[in-house]
Amino acid sequence: MQSAVIKRSIVFDRRKTSVSLEDEFWMGLREIAEGRNETLCHLISNINKDRQFANLSSALRLFVLRHYTDQFHQLPKTGSHPNHSVDLSH
């Protein structure tokens, strides 16, 4: 089985580097950048400036995870969501 991790070359802050990310994390970064009306390179540059880890790929994954976790915690707490209900009667 092949890994879903893809190495991508990116340029930000006038330097070229590469990151290894799964497609889902890359798409998440693109979606977040679009939602903020900024370029993907600008978003990655800001994440890079604020990162506390040596590995940029890990910092990008954690950023995406935190972004969507924060969105989840901001949802109204109104019991079970109709699309996520589970029938346990069987």
pLDDT digits (tens, 9 = 90+) for 20-36: 999 999 999 999 999 99
What share of the chain in percent tops pLDDT 70?
Answer: 83
Long-range pairs, 29-35, Cβ under 8 A, ≥24: 29/60, 29/63, 29/64, 32/63, 32/64, 32/67
Is the per-residue pLDDT at 53 higher than 80?
no
Domain residue ranges in the chain: 5-65
The per-residue pLDDT for 86 is 46
Find the mean pLDDT for residues 34-51: 94
Which two tokens mark 48? 């890079």
CA dihedral 72, 76, 81, 84 (to 10 degrees): 10
| Mean pLDDT over the full length of the chain | 85
Higher pLDDT, 42 or 2: 42
The per-residue pLDDT for 90 is 46
pTM for this predicted structure? 0.76
Strand 15-22 to 5-12 pairing: antiparallel
Is the per-residue pLDDT at 56 higher than 60?
yes
